[in-house]
Structure 1
Amino acid sequence: MKLDPFYLIVDSAAWIERLVPLGVRLVQLRIKTIDEAGLRAEIRKAKALCAQHKCQFIVNDHWRLAIEEGCDFVHLGQEDLQTADLARIRAAGLRLGLSTHDHAELQTAITAEPNYIALGPIYPTILKKMKWAPQGLERISEWKWKRRVAPIPLVAIGGLNPDRLNGVFSAGADSAAVVTDITLSADPEAQTRQWIEKTEQWR
């Protein structure tokens, strides 16, 4: 499958309502602290918004709810992958994205035959505290070519901004994921438009 080069990650349907109409084509809803009823409502609203604007919608972690709500894509971290029912996920027709941070996790991910593999953090990130050092552009190229991730699409994440995109894509990434560079921006709409413009040549 081909991923859009601009991969937005947000923590509410309100962000999706605000930014997806600007031309976002790939978005993940990543909510960590909410009760199930609230999460279901957020997924339902986000899914409807994405359908309206022809944007691929991905649910982070909550694969059971994704199945129940008729979603078609889920993203799992390594810990979630250990407990997820991959057979059930596949039987429901969900596509699967997986996070990786080192070679062992990469091998685990490849074995699961995902629809994309995410590598990070590429640069230092403030999103969450990580035990892994920044991977750098060289690791993107290593995983894409020497480690033969291809033809599985490779998503770069962590510390990315528009000025770093050419390097990320030139190194071999198929898509660049962003969280705080947009959501913490003084003007998230303008920053989103800049990301769309900067990734246009890689479509």
Structure 2
Amino acid sequence: MDRFYLITPTADLIERLVPRGVRLVQLRAKDMPAADLRAHALRAQAICRQHGAQLILNDYWQLALDLGLEFIHLGQEDMDSADFAALARAGIRFGLSTHDEAERERALSHDPAYIALGPVYPTLLKQMPWAPQGLERLTAWKAAIGTRPLVAIGGLTPERLPGVFAAGADSAAVVTDIVTAKDPEARCDLWLRATR
């Protein structure tokens, strides 16, 4: 699993940043009309195929089945309605979000391709009912999930990466630090250098 995991709300940034060397990217579109979402997913799929990057679609597992995508990410609420049998039949891999031990055990019961833990640090992305997890929690999670990849998310910056990887994370998922940057390309390049 690539150490740099870009998460973006539109295909626009995927088209701008994947050609720079991003190898793992999630399209995380929220509150987008279905037709627009499909268009963004198709654009993201095309650019990722062109550049050999892995596209992960957030939440919309039915659309992933429809478009023949290979990978999705599901939050705990999304797991309630996801048809895991259909995903398995289609060969679609998935990563799952976790925030506490009960969620982690539930996620592991579905045999995901990776487990995500967050927010590691305070995050501006959305209001979270959980306090920042911290680095010690990352270490505990890695011990609990074994060889399965662990994705750290929430409040990550290039400066925090050494501690995050030393604590046991295999990949750093980045949203706000790039999406809100004045120059997303330059910020992306910095992340790429820091994770290679």
Q: Given the two structures, how large is their TM-score scaled by the length of structure 1?
A: 0.95
CA positional deviation for 1:37: 1.2
- Secondary structure in 1 aligned to 2:123? coil
How far apart, CA to CA, are the structure 2 residues paired with 1:184 and 1:14? 14
- Secondary structure in 2 aligned to 1:80? helix
2:81 aligns with one of 83, 89, 99: 83
1:174 and 2:174 matched: no
Q: Which aligned segments of 4 or more residues in structure 1 are displaced greater than 2 angstroms?
A: none
**Which whole-Å deviations, capped at 9, do the CAs of 1:58-104 have from their partners, x for residues lacking one?**
00000000111010000000000011100001111100100001111
**Which whole-Å deviations, capped at 9, do the CAs of 1:101-129 have from their partners, x for residues lacking one?**
11110000000100000000000000000
Note the residue ranges of structure 1 that are not aligned, 5 or more in a row. none
| Structure 2 counterpart of 1:157, one-letter code | I
CA positional deviation for 1:16: 0.3
How far apart, CA to CA, are the structure 2 residues paired with 1:150 and 1:28? 24
Alpha carbon RMSD of aligned pairs, Å? Answer: 0.6
Q: Counterparts of 1:1-203 in structure 2 under 5 Å?
A: 3-145=1-143, 147=144, 149-200=145-196
How far apart, CA to CA, are the structure 2 residues paired with 1:100 and 1:169? 18
Q: Given the two structures, how large is their TM-score scaled by the length of structure 2?
A: 0.99
How far apart, CA to CA, are the structure 2 residues paired with 1:82 and 1:174? 27
CA positional deviation for 1:34: 1.3
Note the residue ranges of structure 2 that are not aligned, 5 or more in a row. none
- Secondary structure in 1 aligned to 2:138? helix
How far apart, CA to CA, are the structure 2 residues paired with 1:63 and 1:83? 10
How far apart, CA to CA, are the structure 2 residues paired with 1:168 and 1:150? 17
How far apart, CA to CA, are the structure 2 residues paired with 1:169 and 1:5? 9
How far apart, CA to CA, are the structure 1 residues paired with 2:13 and 2:168? 29
How far apart, CA to CA, are the structure 2 residues paired with 1:82 and 1:53? 34
How far apart, CA to CA, are the structure 2 residues paired with 1:121 and 1:188? 22
CA positional deviation for 1:150: 1.5
Report the count of equivalent residues: 196
- Secondary structure in 2 aligned to 1:112? coil
**Which whole-Å deviations, capped at 9, do the CAs of 1:175-196 have from their partners, x for residues lacking one?**
0000010011111111101100
| Structure 1 counterpart of 2:77, one-letter code | E
- Secondary structure in 2 aligned to 1:130? coil
CA positional deviation for 1:42: 0.8
How far apart, CA to CA, are the structure 1 residues paired with 2:123 and 2:195? 20
